[in-house]
C-alpha cells in the first residue's frame, strides 16, 4: 500500500495509463483479426482496406509509445507480406 501522497498519485496514474495502453493494444488486435479474416476469405479489396486501417492504427499507437516503432513496422511488414501473397494467388 502506498503511504505518501506522491505514491498514491503514482498508483492512480499507473492504473489510468495501464487501462489506456490495454485499450490501444486491444484495438490493434481487433483490427488485425478483421484483416486476417478478410485474407482467409480471399477478398482482396476488403483485405486492402483492412490493411490500411491496421497500418494507420499501428502508426498512431507507436507514435504514442504504447508499442515500439520497430514492433509496429515488423507487424505491418508481416501483414503486407500476407496481403501480397493473397494478391499473387488471385492474379
CATH number at residue 76: 1.20.58.110
CB 28 within 8 A of CB 37: no
Per-residue cell: 50: 483492412
Distance CA 44, CA 23 (A): 28
Residue 90 has pLDDT above 90, yes or no: no
pLDDT at residue 91, rounded to an integer: 74
> pLDDT tens for residues 21-43?
999 999 999 999 999 999 999 99
CB 82 within 8 A of CB 39: yes
Structural domain including 37 reads 5-90
Domain count, the chain: 1
CB 60 within 8 A of CB 47: no
Residue 79 has pLDDT above 80, yes or no: yes
**Which pTM was predicted?**
0.89
pLDDT category at 76 given cuts 50, 70, 90 is very high
Residue whose grid cell is 498519485: 9
Residue 55 has pLDDT above 80, yes or no: yes
Share of the chain above pLDDT 90, in %: 97
Amino acid at each position: 500500500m502506498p503511504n505518501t501522497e506522491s505514491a498514491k498519485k503514482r498508483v492512480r496514474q499507473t492504473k489510468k495509463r495501464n487501462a489506456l495502453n490495454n485499450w490501444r493494444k486491444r484495438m490493434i488486435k481487433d483490427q488485425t483479426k478483421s484483416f486476417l479474416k478478410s485474407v482467409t476469405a480471399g477478398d482482396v479489396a476488403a483485405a486492402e482496406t483492412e490493411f490500411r486501417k491496421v497500418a494507420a492504427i499501428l502508426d498512431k499507437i507507436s507514435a504514442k509509445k504504447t508499442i515500439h516503432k520497430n514492433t509496429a513496422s515488423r507487424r505491418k511488414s508481416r501483414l503486407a507480406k500476407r496481403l501480397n501473397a493473397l494478391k499473387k494467388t488471385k492474379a
